[in-house]
């Protein structure tokens, strides 16, 4: 592929771009239970116009574009207030949950470097259910992740287990509100008390939950304290581009005060170029996501969010009850909001996801761990809430189809993996296994059950290697 010698017409370009979407999952029809968060056509249109009106403005320098400073501080302050930060609390907009989390970890690391230089290998204590973004932050920032097991009945971490994992090198405690996989809140107040007792920073990952849980609480649902009302909480991440229903590319990272936030900011005048001051990771960045977030918060208002949240909670309850009413399926734990997962002892859930995919549904497979069974995840949001009855009908039918199908030979796969691990050239043996699982070349496989079965049975480091090789081949 080369840049065309002469330009192509607008009509052709737009038609071609639309055609590229032909194999994408149908999120507009409400059949994708994850990834997209649609606030409805009218709100989306307002947000789109706002986003496009700031497409070219650059967040690199607030002195050149004070409008972006205004948008950022307005949005951050609205979220800080929603999460009960006081006048000392501060925050920034970032490109997403991952960036917010990486910044919170960097802030903790740099504070420790300044105040506790004797710590040579900083550690962060986090539950097994914490998002992978914390492991990515640990990897990028050379912080050691100290992973704490969860209670396998509730999928929540226990505060006393977090406390036991603290050492002289600990710089940060982490918990989720809620964790993505099973949609449950960790005991934030109890972990906050541990953080205070040990004089440690404590980050609450409210990337998915911050906004939705706050409005659930306003609607009268019983939600334990999870935000700045908990004294030990020192920073929070909360995404606008998930249950804030903003366009992609917008999250917040918030701190209890400026004293802490200063460790996030990076400045550099050591080059021949312009003075660089970056409060967040990105330098040049479009104003689009900021304007989109500002627009949706103002367009929906509290009343609009409460409407969305009520609709979503009603659908989530219907779905969870409906899943539990299917004898072969069981919802895991007691989800606190509208995200949940379910397992089956009777059928292979990855085959079930494939059958559902044939009917256009996207349910997300999650692998097993020693404390959690393999399962399928569902994130209910306003854009898919209306599909609850249709989803349950197809789920009931697809369970019957999978029951009648040839099951995947799990024992055979385990034997193949065992043989590859023993082989004199494990790299080659695993490449062969990857190819037989369909993880090779640049085409994505249409059925995922076999691949998921293989990956679920692989030791984590080998599975990660598998995936890295797969992506290394998938892209240019």
The least CB distance from residue 134 to ligand PLP, in Å, is 8
Residue 250 or 402: the one with the smaller Cβ distance to ligand PLP is 250
Q: Is 341 in the site for ligand PLP (CB under 6 A)?
A: no
The least CB distance from residue 98 to ligand PLP, in Å, is 3
The least CB distance from residue 179 to ligand PLP, in Å, is 6
Provide DSSP, 78-124: HHHHHTT--TT-EEEEESSHHHHHHHHHHHHHHHHHHH-TT-SS-EE
Per CB under 6 A, which of residues 153..182 are in contact with ligand PLP? 176, 180
Residue 31 or 212: the one with the smaller Cβ distance to ligand PLP is 212
Residue 72 or 205: the one with the smaller Cβ distance to ligand PLP is 205
Q: Is 31 in the site for ligand PLP (CB under 6 A)?
A: no
Per CB under 6 A, which of residues 241..260 are in contact with ligand PLP? 251
Tell me how far apart the 2 most distant CA atoms of the chain are, in Å. 69
Residue 109 or 377: the one with the smaller Cβ distance to ligand PLP is 377
Q: Is 413 in the site for ligand PLP (CB under 6 A)?
A: no
Report how far residue 17's alpha carbon sits from residue 163's, in angstroms, rounded to the nearest whole number. Answer: 52
Residue whose structure tokens are 């802030």:
107
Q: Which stretch binds ligand PLP (CB under 6 A): 93-101, 213-221, 347-355, 366-374?
A: 93-101
Distances from the Cα of 92 to the Cα of 67, 205, 275, 277, angstroms = 15, 15, 20, 14
Q: Is 235 in the site for ligand PLP (CB under 6 A)?
A: no
Among 39, 96, 210, 335, binds ligand PLP (CB under 6 A): 96
Q: Is 377 in the site for ligand PLP (CB under 6 A)?
A: no
Q: Is 387 in the site for ligand PLP (CB under 6 A)?
A: no
Among 97, 292, 333, 365, binds ligand PLP (CB under 6 A): 97
Q: Is 384 in the site for ligand PLP (CB under 6 A)?
A: no
Q: Is 91 in the site for ligand PLP (CB under 6 A)?
A: no
Per CB under 6 A, which of residues 133..152 are in contact with ligand PLP? 133
Among 146, 174, 200, 208, binds ligand PLP (CB under 6 A): 208
Residue 374 · residue 367 · CB < 8 Å: yes
Q: Is 186 in the site for ligand PLP (CB under 6 A)?
A: no
The least CB distance from residue 249 to ligand PLP, in Å, is 9
Provide DSSP, 384-421: TGGGHHHHHHHHHHHHHHHHHSPPP-HHHHHHHHHHHH
Residue 71 · residue 291 · CB < 8 Å: yes
Give 369's contacts (C-beta < 8 A, 6+ positions apart). 128
Residue 364 or 469: the one with the smaller Cβ distance to ligand PLP is 364
Contacts of the segment 68-76: beta carbons below 8 A, 24+ positions apart: 68/287, 68/290, 71/287, 71/290, 71/291, 71/293, 71/294, 72/290, 74/294, 75/240, 75/250, 75/252, 75/290, 75/293, 75/294, 75/297, 76/252, 76/254
Pairing, β 375-379 against β 339-343: antiparallel
Q: Is 375 in the site for ligand PLP (CB under 6 A)?
A: no
Number of residues that bind ligand PLP (CB under 6 A): 13
Residue-level length of the chain: 476
Give 237's contacts (C-beta < 8 A, 6+ positions apart). 97, 100, 101, 104, 203, 204, 205, 206, 207, 210, 251, 252, 253, 254
Q: Is 285 in the site for ligand PLP (CB under 6 A)?
A: no
Residue 201 or 206: the one with the smaller Cβ distance to ligand PLP is 206
Residue 465 · residue 428 · CB < 8 Å: no
The least CB distance from residue 337 to ligand PLP, in Å, is 11
Instruction: Point out the residue whose Cβ comes nearest to ligand PLP.
Output: 97
Residues in the site for ligand PLP, rule: CB under 6 A?
96-98, 101, 131, 133, 176, 180, 205, 207-208, 239, 251
């Amino acid at each position: 592929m080369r840049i065309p010698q002469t330009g192509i017409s607008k009509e052709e370009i737009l038609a071609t771009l639309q055609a590229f979407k032909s194999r994408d999952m149908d999120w507009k029809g409400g059949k994708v239970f994850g990834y997209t968060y649609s606030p409805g056509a009218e709100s989306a249109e307002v947000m789109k116009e706002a986003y496009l009106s700031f497409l070219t403005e650059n967040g690199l320098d607030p002195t050149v574009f004070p409008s972006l400073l205004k948008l950022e501080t307005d949005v951050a302050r609205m979220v800080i207030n929603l999460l009960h930060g006081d006048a000392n609390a501060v925050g920034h907009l970032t490109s997403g949950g991952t960036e917010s989390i990486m910044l919170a970890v960097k802030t903790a690391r740099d504070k420790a470097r300044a105040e506790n230089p004797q710590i040579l290998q900083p550690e962060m204590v986090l539950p097994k259910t914490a998002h992978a973004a914390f492991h990515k932050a640990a990897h990028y920032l050379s912080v050691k992740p100290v992973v704490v097991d969860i209670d396998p009945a509730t999928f929540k971490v226990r505060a006393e287990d977090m406390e036991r994992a603290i050492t002289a090198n600990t710089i940060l405690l982490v918990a989720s509100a809620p964790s993505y996989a099973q949609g449950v809140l960790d005991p934030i107040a109890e972990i906050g008390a541990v953080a205070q007792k040990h004089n440690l920073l404590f980050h609450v990952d409210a990337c998915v939950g911050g906004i939705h849980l706050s409005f659930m609480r306003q609607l009268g649902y019983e939600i334990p304290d999870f935000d700045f009302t908990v004294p030990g909480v020192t920073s929070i991440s909360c995404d606008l581009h998930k249950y804030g229903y903003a366009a992609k590319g917008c999250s917040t990272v918030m701190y209890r005060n400026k004293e802490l936030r200063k460790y996030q900011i990076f400045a550099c005048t050591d080059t021949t170029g312009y003075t660089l001051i970056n409060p967040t990771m990105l330098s040049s960045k479009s104003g689009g996501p900021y304007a989109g977030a500002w627009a949706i918060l103002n367009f929906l208002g509290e009343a609009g969010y409460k409407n969305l949240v009520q609709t979503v909670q009603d659908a989530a309850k219907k779905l969870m009850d409906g899943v539990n009413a299917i004898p072969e399926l069981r919802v895991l734990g007691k989800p606190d909001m509208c995200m949940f997962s379910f397992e089956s002892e009777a059928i292979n859930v990855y085959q079930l996801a494939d059958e559902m995919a044939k009917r256009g549904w996207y349910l997300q497979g999650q692998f097993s761990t020693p404390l959690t069974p393999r399962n399928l995840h569902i994130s209910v949001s306003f854009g898919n809430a209306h599909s609850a009855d249709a989803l349950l009908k197809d789920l009931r039918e697809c369970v019957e189809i999978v029951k009648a199908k040839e099951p995947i030979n799990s024992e055979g796969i385990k034997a193949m993996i065992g043989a590859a691990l023993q082989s004199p050239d494990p790299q080659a043996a695993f490449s062969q296994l990857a190819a037989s699982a369909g993880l090779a070349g640049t085409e994505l496989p249409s059925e995922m059950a076999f691949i998921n079965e293989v990956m679920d049975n692989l030791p984590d480091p080998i599975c990660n290697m598998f995936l890295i090789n797969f992506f290394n081949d998938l892209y240019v």
